[in-house]
Structure 1
Amino acid sequence: MLTLTPVQEIVLRDYQADAIEGLRANIRAGRRRLILCAGTGAGKTVTAAHLIREAARKGSYALFVVDRLPLVKQTSEEFDRYGIAHGVVQGSNHKRWDPHEHVQVCSSQTLSRRCLPRSPSLIVVDEAHCQYQGIIDYMDRHPSAVKIGLTATPFTSGMGNHWDGMVNVRPTRLLINEGHLIEPLIFVAKSPDDEELGLNSFGEFSDESAANAGIRIVGDVVAEWIKKTHEHFGGPAKTIVFSPTVEHGRELCAAFAAAGYNFQQISYLDRSDAERDAKITEFRTPDSLIHGLVSCGVLTKGFDVPDTLIGISCRPYRKSLSSHMQEIGRVMRAPPGKSKALWLDHSGNIERFALDMFDVWENGAGELSKAEKRDSTARKRDASTREKVVCPECGGALHGTLCMACGWEKPAQSGIIAVDGTLREFNLQHIAVEARPGLRAECLKDPRSVWNAALSFCIEHSQGQDTEKARKWAYGVWRGIYPSSKFPSGWFDMRPALPDTNAYTLVSREIKRFRRKSGRRAA
């Protein structure tokens, strides 16, 4: 007996309806290439589905273009759920090839070389920031069609050359506050040093160097996942891992398997679409036998499994805020029953991009011309940025002065001090912190960074001693470097963050010097 799935009505949220009105106002003003910008989970596909259904009701030919094969199936299923009759333009013999339907769900690769029987009146391009030349050329060949590009991250250089303007929907922070999205608890875990990572011809970290460096800490990735899943969920929880290469993904899957967990890799090298679809279908089930999917260049954009609870970042980016935000968005959807999500950063991306990410969450992407510049600048990862974004207590991410993970609040610091009835801007020279005569190193100007390095070194080399003894050792090292300075209140019990390389080297050198000196005295 055939069971028909009931059609779900498209019910727009108020801000989605406002976005559609914004698009229509721009179209009436003569702008026919528009970006619809909204954070992951804001419902861009639902909004586009409404536009496409209305176009189809008028007999217009409408195309929805995606750039990943899994997204063809995902979008087709969503259109089925809304009762939108459609054909599928993918490959040479797709079972739903029906080019005479008013609506077509298209693979960008197939569309660029396929002839369709009608000229489209509406072209919706998903993940428009990717800017495939074949799709840009296709849009150029249909100048009378309205083009709408969907993206959460309109940061790609040159977008302003292909789009007339942008309609911003609603900032991520409001979507979180209203319960439409979940803000993940972010933890900054062990990751390769930037010095280990080579660059490719685009000035980004090369995948090969990221894989080679990342394989060294695979054991830490698995251990951190086990610890955090048991701490927050009482056991394994549905997880997506973002990996730089297939080889790195294999190492991860093997390490998880050795620990007794089922992680499956999907990548551009999968032997068949059927094999990949089977893994994704199983992963979508509420009681999936797959604990996690390891993605190499496949699930970064648009992939939607709302009940995913944990994301693991193992692929470092130097410039691409867009890729980082697309990845973290995979765990932010808020289906019924989901109240928490975790993001475990083993790439250093939080340290590089947190300030920019939070700015976009709070204020939106802004004008297209401004947004385009966000992916053009290499972000630094040093002691200064770590202090701004990493909680010294738990390794969580700081949002402003508050840790999102443990609630620790950064002590207030006015930035201004009173001196003889006048006000002066705060800087380190107004604090009585002075290094031992004869010591010369740039990192000495940041005594907190030196303390963090001393703390990290002493805890790491304590050989089973308790943490209290390690802290006392670190205190002695710090006082040896700053012998005439007062040790700041509150530093002794702070949790060490990833230390600055130069400060760590200084501490190591000072400890060796002290041991040599003590040896001479003993003789």
Structure 2
Amino acid sequence: MAVSLRNYQERVSREVGAILREGVRRVLVQMSTGAGKTVLASHFIDRARLTDRRIYFLCHRVELVDGTSGTLSRYGIPHGVIASGVRSDPSALVQVCSIETLKGCLDGLPVPWAIIVDETHHCRAAGWEQVIGHFVAAGAILIGLTATPKRLDGRGLGAFFDRIVLGPQTAQLIEAGHLSRFRHFMPDAPGKFLVGDPVAHWKRRASGLRSVGFAKDVAQSRQLVEQFREAGIAAAHLDGNTPADERRETIRAFAGGEILVLINVDLFGEGFDLAAVAGRPVTVDCVMFYRRTKSLSLYLQWAGRALRPFPGKVAIILDHAGNWYQHGDIDAVRIWSLGDDTGKIAKKAERAPITCPECFGQARFPYPKTCETVYPDGEPCGHSFEKQIAEIQMKIEEGELKEKTKHEREAARRRQKREEFEADSLADLTRLGRERGYRDPHKWAFLKWSGRKRKTRSAA
């Protein structure tokens, strides 16, 4: 089967080709989650193979190796696989490679015409730098693929690439029918805890829909699964350490409708091909966020799990963690470049105070380890808050997720801007960061204050 491209994929392919013909050898392609990066890569690979040029496709997880290999096989593209536990075919011009395996055998491999690096926002990791640096230094062309050209620290990828080619925005893909429309339910305000009863909200907003949840750890995931099962809803847990056979059977049961709710930990993120594992098309209709993430990439990829289109479908996003307040609208227009982009963080709500059971004094966030209330005789109470803080961290708050209108979301952003504008000193900004519950309010305030000073000097 020949690789068939959509109009925007053809446009990106032409732009990449034109840049390479200029002599540029490091090109980054940005394509939103669900836009078809692997299909585009298959097109690049097939064209190189037909002209007898060697090309390697690099993945950072073995599951992604399997998925990419399956896609190439569907298109009839012969290839080898370089990964642990797989018999290699060194004669193949096309190789799908695991970074972990590849970095141990670099000296024994021929230098390819080009390497295609999937999920390139990981390229700062030591293994990636080693492999990419080795082949680029030897003369290979570098083509990167990512939905979010931004490292976890907020920096751009200009150190690795010379040019960037942009695909369509998520909103454009939705409008064209390449991604489904969606409804996003979130708390009234962000907080330290998860908001809303998971089962009750699923029953109210997504009953009967095939749903995937993202948990912070195995213990939380299994606890959530038990809550769904106790309510008579077929649910299962998976994580990266689940045996391959059990994982495959569970995913097949999910695809067949025997399981409706699948909670995972660090598995169904970037590039994981659910349909390839299931051996049949799988449409996820609802995603549920049970953990917070600072990564815009993860946020968009989690949401993207539910955006695969189907006639008449409207995806449901149950954002119990309030990740919207960190990252904004899933279909927001984002301006990507190779430069540094620290991103915009929405307002976070102040944490509720805790009450001392000994003296009934209250302590506000950030909570002290012991009660600091002073008795009339001058002695401090000193009651330990450690148990209460631990209970708070495990708590799932009662609450309601609501679908916020565009006007309400814009109002929240305006409030944030106004609060920051009214902070007249570094101390005021630090206090604001502390009230919002930022992990490092001093660092956040310093960055904001430094940016304000730079703008003032530029204006002068």
Q: Please tell me the residue identity of whatever aligns with 1:94.
A: V
Corresponding residue of 2:363: none
Q: CA deviation at 1:183?
A: 2.7
Question: For 1:147, what is the secondary structure of its paired residue?
Answer: strand
Q: Note if 1:316 corresponds to 2:292.
A: yes
Q: Note if 1:396 corresponds to 2:400.
A: no
Q: CA deviation at 1:378?
A: 5.3
**Is the 2:189–2:348 contact (alpha carbons within 8 Å) kept by the matching residues of 1?**
no
Q: Please tell me the residue identity of whatever aligns with 2:216.
A: P
Matches within 5 A, 1:12-23: 12-23=5-16
Alpha-carbon distance change, 322 to 402 in structure 1, aligned in 2, over 3 angstroms: closer
Q: CA deviation at 1:82?
A: 0.7
Corresponding residue of 2:95: 104
Corresponding residue of 1:177: 175
Q: Note if 1:226 corresponds to 2:198.
A: no
Alpha-carbon distance change, 273 to 112 in structure 1, aligned in 2, over 3 angstroms: farther
Per mean C-alpha deviation after superposition, the further-off stretch among 24-33 and 164-173 is: 24-33
Question: For 1:237, what is the secondary structure of its paired residue?
Answer: coil
Which of structures 1 and 2 has the larger relative contact order (alpha carbons within 8 angstroms, sep 6+)?
Answer: 2
Q: CA deviation at 1:401?
A: 6.2
Corresponding residue of 1:466: none
Q: CA deviation at 1:308?
A: 0.4
Q: Please tell me the residue identity of whatever aligns with 1:179.
A: G
Matches within 5 A, 1:124-143: 124-131=116-123, 132-143=125-136
The structure with the largest alpha-carbon Rg is 1
**Per-residue CA distance 1:76-123 (angstroms, 9 max, x = gap):** 1111111111122221x325x322211111222222223454222121
**Is the 2:191–2:348 contact (alpha carbons within 8 Å) kept by the matching residues of 1?**
no
Corresponding residue of 2:147: 152
Q: Please tell me the residue identity of whatever aligns with 1:289.
A: E
Aligned residues: 355
Q: TM-score, normalised by structure 2?
A: 0.70
Corresponding residue of 2:452: none
Question: For 1:142, what is the secondary structure of its paired residue?
Answer: helix
Identity in percent: 31
Corresponding residue of 2:59: 66
Q: Please tell me the residue identity of whatever aligns with 2:90.
A: P
**Is the 2:188–2:401 contact (alpha carbons within 8 Å) kept by the matching residues of 1?**
no
**Per-residue CA distance 1:334-356 (angstroms, 9 max, x = gap):** 1x43521100000011122225x
**Is the 2:121–2:148 contact (alpha carbons within 8 Å) kept by the matching residues of 1?**
yes
Matches within 5 A, 1:441-460: none
Question: Structure 1 residue aligned with 2:105, among 111, 114, 120?
Answer: 114
Question: For 2:313, what is the secondary structure of its paired residue?
Answer: coil
Q: Note if 1:295 corresponds to 2:295.
A: no
Alpha-carbon distance change, 28 to 373 in structure 1, aligned in 2, over 3 angstroms: farther
Question: For 1:141, what is the secondary structure of its paired residue?
Answer: helix
Q: CA deviation at 1:307?
A: 0.7
Runs of 4+ aligned residues of structure 1 deviating over 6 Å after TM superposition are: none
Structure 2 spans left out of the alignment, 5+ residues: 275-281, 351-399, 419-427, 429-435, 438-460
Corresponding residue of 1:277: 248
**Is the 1:191–1:346 contact (alpha carbons within 8 Å) kept by the matching residues of 2?**
no
Q: Please tell me the residue identity of whatever aligns with 2:249.
A: A
Question: Structure 2 residue aligned with 1:329, among 298, 301, 304?
Answer: 304
**Is the 1:36–1:148 contact (alpha carbons within 8 Å) kept by the matching residues of 2?**
yes
Question: For 2:402, what is the secondary structure of its paired residue?
Answer: coil
Q: CA deviation at 1:150?
A: 0.9
Q: CA deviation at 1:269?
A: 2.8
In structure 2, distance between residues paired with 1:46 and 1:266? 27
Q: TM-score, normalised by structure 1?
A: 0.62
In structure 1, distance between residues paired with 2:173 and 2:304? 12
Corresponding residue of 1:431: none
Matches within 5 A, 1:83-482: 83-91=76-84, 93-94=85-86, 97-115=88-106, 117-131=109-123, 132-143=125-136, 144-156=139-151, 157-189=155-187, 193-194=191-192, 213-214=193-194, 220-230=197-207, 236-270=208-242, 272-283=243-254, 285=255, 287-305=256-274, 307-317=283-293, 319-334=294-309, 336-337=310-311, 339-354=313-328, 357-359=330-332, 362=333, 364-370=334-340, 372-374=341-343, 379-382=346-349, 395-400=402-407
Alpha-carbon distance change, 66 to 338 in structure 1, aligned in 2, over 3 angstroms: farther
Question: For 1:83, what is the secondary structure of its paired residue?
Answer: coil
Q: CA deviation at 1:365?
A: 3.2
Corresponding residue of 1:57: 50
Structure 1 spans left out of the alignment, 5+ residues: 1-7, 195-212, 231-235, 384-392, 404-409, 414-426, 428-441, 443-499, 502-523
- Aligned residues: CA RMSD: 3.0
Corresponding residue of 2:37: 44
Q: Please tell me the residue identity of whatever aligns with 1:322.
A: S
In structure 2, distance between residues paired with 1:179 and 1:112? 40
Question: For 1:328, what is the secondary structure of its paired residue?
Answer: helix
**Is the 2:156–2:337 contact (alpha carbons within 8 Å) kept by the matching residues of 1?**
no
Q: Please tell me the residue identity of whatever aligns with 2:323.
A: N
